[in-house]
């Protein structure tokens, strides 16, 4: 029972990180209709800046700078590349972001060289005990931070002018434009938010507790595990991203504990496949209807 509680808490912590990433996918998909394959590179970019500035600025300063860098990177990708082809086929745009991802990730990994820095120095590798249950501090803090950020996002999405215009855009682009909504400001801000969330996520991803490894190509691969999270929930559902993140985090933690560590990566994708067979647009995604 104790192991089970421990596994669930750690799974939820991982789920919170996946939810941050999945929410990023969903926000970008809603704003630009793009499945952003470059999200893993934004994660790496944020992590790289943190690793490079940590000695000078301390953890908090470098973390803030890393988040800003990831957000700025996202905005640049949107402004310079994606916004040039607003009417392009979604698959073409997804491929575009793959191109961006290849260049960015290769360059960052090359710059890291043989270094594999760990990022979460204040909490990483410092387990604590409640009763006879051991928790990873990284996962517990990730759960807290994730919950706060997700709550903040939903409040902003519900009440700020940006959230309202974003929802209006997602609902009907032309009507929103006619009502005087500046499309580019909304989409740029959406990418900015998504990038910032990726910048926060990497502070937990590249740690001993989360993956056992520091910032490397592996971090990029873990960011890809957030794909299933976004897909399970449905690419155009913000609340789906949270549910998807939790499902993926728990699946990974439980299967790693009770089946095998190697199986846990596959298990996540198996769950995604199963969901897609039942609901081809994810659990909360809107199904495209064809009209003749």
Stretch that binds another protein, among 139-147, 162-170, 204-212, 219-227 (CB under 8 A): 219-227
Tell me if 156 contacts another protein by CB under 8 A. no
Strand, coil or helix: 129: strand
CB nearer to another protein: pick between 64 and 217: 217
Euclidean distance between CA atoms 220 and 42, whole angstroms: 9
- Name which position in 79, 121, 269, 283 contacts another protein (CB under 8 A): 269
CB of 60 to another protein, least distance (A): 29
Stretch that binds another protein, among 86-94, 152-160, 185-193, 204-212 (CB under 8 A): 86-94
CB of 115 to another protein, least distance (A): 9
Residue 129 Cα to chain centre, angstroms: 29
DSSP letters for 202-264: HHHHSSTTTTSS-SSHHHHHHHHHHHHHHHHH-TT-HHHHHHHHHHHHHHHHHHHHHT-HHHH
Tell me if 5 contacts another protein by CB under 8 A. no
Tell me if 89 contacts another protein by CB under 8 A. yes
CB of 21 to another protein, least distance (A): 13
Q: Which residues pair with 133 in a beta bridge?
A: 130
CB of 125 to another protein, least distance (A): 23
Instruction: Tell me the CA distances in angstroms from 90 to 48, 187, 280, one per residue in order.
Output: 29, 15, 17
Stretch that binds another protein, among 78-86, 120-128, 167-175, 197-205 (CB under 8 A): 78-86
CB nearer to another protein: pick between 63 and 244: 244
Q: Which of residues 15-74 bind another protein (CB under 8 A)?
A: 35
CB nearer to another protein: pick between 67 and 201: 201
CB nearer to another protein: pick between 7 and 96: 96
Tell me if 213 contacts another protein by CB under 8 A. no
Which residues lie below 8 Å from residue 227, measured CB to CB, with a gap of 6+? 25
The tokens for 156 are 């902003």
Euclidean distance between CA atoms 118 and 197, whole angstroms: 19
Tell me if 88 contacts another protein by CB under 8 A. yes
Cβ neighbours of 178 (radius 10 Å)? 9
Tell me if 228 contacts another protein by CB under 8 A. yes
DSSP letters for 67-126: HHHHHHHHHHIIIIIGGG-TTS-HHHHHHHHHHHHHHHHHHHHHHHTT------TTTTT-
- Name which position in 2, 58, 86, 92 contacts another protein (CB under 8 A): 92
- Name which position in 1, 55, 60, 290 contacts another protein (CB under 8 A): 290
């Amino acid at each position: 029972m104790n192991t089970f509680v421990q596994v669930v808490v750690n799974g939820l912590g991982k789920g919170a990180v996946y939810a941050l990433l999945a929410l990023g996918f969903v926000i970008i998909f809603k704003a630009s209709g793009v499945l952003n394959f470059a999200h893993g590179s934004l994660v790496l970019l944020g992590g790289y800046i943190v690793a490079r500035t940590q000695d000078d600025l301390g953890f908090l300063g470098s973390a803030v700078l890393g988040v800003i860098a990831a957000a700025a990177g996202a905005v640049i990708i949107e402004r310079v590349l994606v916004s040039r082809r607003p009417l392009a086929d979604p698959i073409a745009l997804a491929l575009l972001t793959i191109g961006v991802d290849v260049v960015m990730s290769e360059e960052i990994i090359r710059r890291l060289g043989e270094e594999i820095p760990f990022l979460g120095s204040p909490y990483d590798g410092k387990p604590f005990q409640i009763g006879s249950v051991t928790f990873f501090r990284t996962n517990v803090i990730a759960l807290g931070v994730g919950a706060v950020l997700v709550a903040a996002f939903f409040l902003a999405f519900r009440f700020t002018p940006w959230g309202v215009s974003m929802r209006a855009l997602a609902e009907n682009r032309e009507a929103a434009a006619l009502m005087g909504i500046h499309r580019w400001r909304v989409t740029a801000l959406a990418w900015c938010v998504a990038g910032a969330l990726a910048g926060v996520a990497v502070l937990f991803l590249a740690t001993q507790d989360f993956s056992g490894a520091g910032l490397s190509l592996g971090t990029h691969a873990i960011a890809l595990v957030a794909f299933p999270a976004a897909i399970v929930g449905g690419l155009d559902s913000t609340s789906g991203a949270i549910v998807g993140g939790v499902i993926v985090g728990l699946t990974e933690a439980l299967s790693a504990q009770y089946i095998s560590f190697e199986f846990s990566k596959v298990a996540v994708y198996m769950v995604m496949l199963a969901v897609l067979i039942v609901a081809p647009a994810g659990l909360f995604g809107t199904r495209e209807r064809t009209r003749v």
